[in-house]
Chain A
Amino acid sequence: MTPLLEVTDLRITFRRDSGPPIVAVDGVSFTVSAGEVVALVGESGCGKTLTGLALPGLLPPGAELDATTHIRFNGTDLAGLSEDALRGYRGRRIAMIFQDPLTSLNPVMRVGTQIAEAIRAHQQVSRGEARQRAIALLGEVGIADPEERVDSYPHQLSGGMRQRVMIAIALAGEPELLVADEPTTALDVTVQAQILELLDRLRVSRRMAVLLITHDLGIVAGRADRVIVMYAGRIAETATTVALFATPAHPYTRGLFASIPRIEGSSGRLPSIPGTVPRPDQWPIGCRFHPRCPVVIANCREVQPPLEAVATSHLAACWWRRRRPGEHATGPGRRARQALPRRRIPQRQCARRARRRGCLLRHRSR
C-alpha cells in the first residue's frame, strides 16, 4: 500500500544576510498512511513545527526547502509545486490546527461566518448552504447547541470550544491529512482529554490521517499509531507507539519518558535531561544530543549516527548501541546518567512480564 504522505529528506534552511544559511530541519524522512495517527515529538526548537508547516507549504518567509526534498502526497510531489497549485492542497487536502485557537480566529467575525468562509473557499455552495454545513460541522466537533453557537464570537467561547471551532474550520475542506500542532497544550487537562478524544473519533469516522505534533510523550500513548522523536532537526528514533514505550532505544527518548510527571509512583524529584536544545547555528559535531547524553562514547563526538533498525520498523540514531565490548560511557557525568532507567530489562523477559501482568512495563527509574 502506498502511503498517503511520503516525506523524503526534508531539509529546511534559512538564508541570512551575513553568514552561511542555517539548516533548521536536516534530512527528515517519514510516511503517514490514510487513517493513521503519527506523533511528532520533541522539545521546542527541534524542528517539529517547521516540519509540520512544510507539508502544506506554509513555511515562514526566509525558509526554503532543499532541492533534494520530496513531499509526496497521494503521489504528487508538493515540494515542486507552484504557489497556485499548492492552494489546491492547502486547507482542502492537508489542513492544520495550531496551539492557540484565539490567535488563529478572527475576533470580529462570528465563528459560523469563519467556518462558512472556509467551506466556500473549497466548494461552490450558496451562503445559506454553507451556513447549514457550518452548523453540521459544529455539531460534528461536539459543540452543544450548534444552531446558537454558530452566531457567537470567539471571545464568547471557552478555550476548548475555540479549539473545536478551529477543528471545524480544518474539516471544512474535507482534508485527508490533519496536521495538529500542539492542539491541546494551551488547554486544561479535562478539556485536553475531550479534544484528543474528538480527534480520534474524526480519524475513524472520516478515515483522516493525523500528524500530531507535541512536546509531551505522555499524551501520545493510546492516541498515536507511530511516534517520531525529533532532536535538533533530525529524527532520533521512530517506532510504533507500543514498541517505543516498551523499549525506547535512544537516550533522548528515555530522558523524555523519565521527565513525565506521573500520578502513580514516587513523588519528589523527577529525572530530567540536563541543558537545553542547542540553536540550529550551534549544533555540535557528531551526535547532536551528545552534550546532554548520559552514555557518550568516542564516536558520538565525531560522527553523526545514522538512523538504523534496532528491531522491525523501529529505527534509532545512536552509537551507544553499537559500542564495542568493554567500551565505557564518558557522558557529562552522573547527573545525566540518573535520567536513565537503572535496570535494562531484556526484551524477552519484558514480554514475558507483560503477558503476566497484562501490560508492558513502564520504563521509569525506580
Chain B
Amino acid sequence: MRAVEDVSFAIAAGETLALVGESGSGKSTVGRAVLRLEEPTAGRVRFEGTDLATLTPRALREARRRMQIVFQDPFASLNPRRTIGASVAEGLEIHGIVPREEIGDRVSHLLEEVGLDASFASRYPHEFSGGQRQRIGIARALAVAPTFIVCDEPVSALDVSVQAQVLNLLLDLRTQRGLAYLFIAHDLALVHQIADRVAVMYLGTIVEIGPARAVIGAPSHPYTRALVSAVPEPDPTKAKTRIVLEGDPPSPSALPIGCPFVTRCFHPAKDARCSTERPHLRPVGDQQVACHCAAPGDGAAST
C-alpha cells in the first residue's frame, strides 16, 4: 500500500512551507520521512545539499541536530517521569553542545526564550497546560540550535487564544533565529498567518503547491477550493458560499485509478479522462496544480 506517492518540494533556508490536508492525506508521513524517522521506499531527501540516505549513522546524527520536530501532542512526546529541565537538557547532553556545568544556565535561557519561567525546569509535564507543554516541546527542539524544524500540527490541540500565542512564538523564533519550518496543518486560516508557500496534499500526493498568497487567495484545484471555503467565516452577517464535499476520502488501499480526487470532485469540466489518467502538477496561475480541468480564475467564483 502506498501512503505517499511522488511528493517533491524544496524549502529554502529561513522559509516556511506549509503542508495542508485532511487526516490520512499523508502529510505527517512526509514530515517524518523528511527527518528519516520513516524510511521512504523510494525518493531522496537532501538537507543542506547532502542526501540523508547516504549518511553514515554518525553523520546522520549530526544532521539531525540541525533538523528537529515539534509534535501535535506535547504531552505524549514528553517523558512524564522526567522534569522539564531534564527533557530540555537531553539534546544538549547527547550532542555535547555546551559543557556540563553550563547546561543548567542554557536550559533556563531556553525556557525564557519560549516564554516560560526558568523555575519551571524542576517541574513535571503534568503540571502544565497544553499551551505551556507545547512551549516546552519547542524549547526542547531549539536546544540543539537547529536550522530547520518540522512542526507537525503544533497548535491543533490548543484553544484558539493559546493557539495564537504559540503561533506568535513560532513567528518570533523564525525571525530571531532564521529558522526554516515545514508547517503541517489542516487549518488554512492558520497556515495563512505563517506560511510563505503552501502545498496541499490529498491521498498522499501534492495536488497544489505555490506561494501562500496564490494558493489560499486564488485556489485552483477543486480540493483546495473546498478547503478554503470550509474555513469558518467569523462574521455572522457575511454570507459565504461553502463547498461542502460529499463523503470521505477513499481508502488509500483502494485509490481511484485516475485523479485521486475524482470521487468527490465537483468541477463542471470533469470528464472521462479524470477517472483514467492521473493528472500531474502543471502551472496554473502562480501555482502548480495537479488537475486536468483547473483553469486560472476557477477559485475566484468560489470565494
Contact = CB atoms under 8 A, between A and B. Distances in A.
Interface of A: 43-45, 144, 158-161, 188-194, 197, 215-222, 241-242, 245-246, 255-263, 267-274, 276, 354, 359-360, 362
Contact of A192 (B228, B230, B238): B230
Interface of B is mostly: helix
Given A215-B159, A263-B231, A267-B212, 12 more contacts: A43-B160, A43-B161, A44-B130, A45-B129, A197-B244, A218-B234, A261-B163, A261-B187, A261-B193, A263-B188, A272-B164, A362-B234
Nearest to B195: A267
A288 to B, nearest CB: 15
Interface stretch (B2-10, B28-36, B165-173): B165-173
Most buried by A among B168, B172, B232: B232
A67 to B, nearest CB: 32
B160 A217 contact: yes
Contacts, number: 140
Given A43-B162, A216-B160, A261-B189, A190 B230 contact: yes
Interface in B220-235: 226-228, 230-235
B234 A193 contact: no
B216 interface: yes
A43 B158 CA distance: 9
B138 to A, nearest CB: 16
B192 interface: yes
Nearest to A242: B236
A254 B23 CA distance: 32
Contacts of B159: 43-44, 215
B186 to A, nearest CB: 5
B288 to A, nearest CB: 21
A193 B242 CA distance: 9
Given A190-B22, A193-B230, A261-B164, A270 B193 contact: yes
B248 A160 contact: yes
Contacts of A43: 159-162
Nearest to A279: B129
Given A188-B23, A263-B189, A269 B171 contact: yes
Contacts of B192: 261-263, 267
A311 B22 CA distance: 42
Question: What are the 9 A-B residue pairs with the smallest beta carbon separation, nearest first?
Answer: A272-B164, A259-B164, A270-B164, A261-B189, A221-B236, A218-B234, A188-B22, A218-B232, A215-B159
Contacts of B130: 44
Contacts of A270: 164, 167-168, 193
Interface of B: 22-23, 129-132, 159-165, 167-168, 171-172, 186-190, 192-195, 212, 216, 226-228, 230-238, 240, 242, 244-245, 247-248
B56 to A, nearest CB: 40
Nearest to B165: A272
Given A188-B22, A191-B22, A276-B131, A158 B248 contact: yes
B223 to A, nearest CB: 9
Nearest to B189: A261
Contact of B231 (A189, A194, A220, A272): A189
A197 B22 CA distance: 18
A263 B228 contact: yes
B279 to A, nearest CB: 20
Contacts of A260: 160, 189, 234
A360 to B, nearest CB: 5
A242 B236 CA distance: 6
B167 A261 contact: yes
Contacts of A188: 22-23, 186
Contacts of A159: 23
A192 B242 CA distance: 12
A255 B161 contact: yes
28 contacts: A43-B162, A158-B248, A160-B248, A188-B186, A191-B248, A192-B232, A193-B242, A194-B244, A194-B245, A221-B238, A222-B240, A245-B234, A245-B237, A256-B161, A258-B164, A259-B160, A261-B164, A261-B167, A261-B187, A261-B189, A261-B193, A262-B234, A269-B171, A269-B193, A272-B161, A272-B165, A276-B131, A276-B162
A276 B227 contact: no
Nearest to A260: B234
Given A158-B248, A189-B231, A271 B236 contact: no
B126 to A, nearest CB: 14
Given A259-B161, A267-B192, A273-B161, A190 B227 contact: yes
A216 B160 CA distance: 6
Nearest to A187: B23
A144 B168 contact: no
A211 to B, nearest CB: 18
Nearest to B247: A144
Given A189-B227, A193-B244, A360 B235 contact: yes
Contact of A268 (B132, B171, B245, B247): B171
A257 B230 contact: no
A256 B160 contact: yes
A185 B23 CA distance: 13
Contacts of A217: 160, 234
Contacts of B190: 261
Nearest to B240: A222
A303 B111 CA distance: 35
Nearest to B128: A276
- Counting chain B CB atoms within 10 Å of each CB, the highest count among A189, A268, A271 belongs to A189
Contacts of A221: 232-236, 238
Contact of B236 (A158, A190, A245, A259): A245
A43 B193 CA distance: 21
B157 to A, nearest CB: 9
A190 to B, nearest CB: 5
Contacts of A220: 234, 236
Nearest to B248: A158
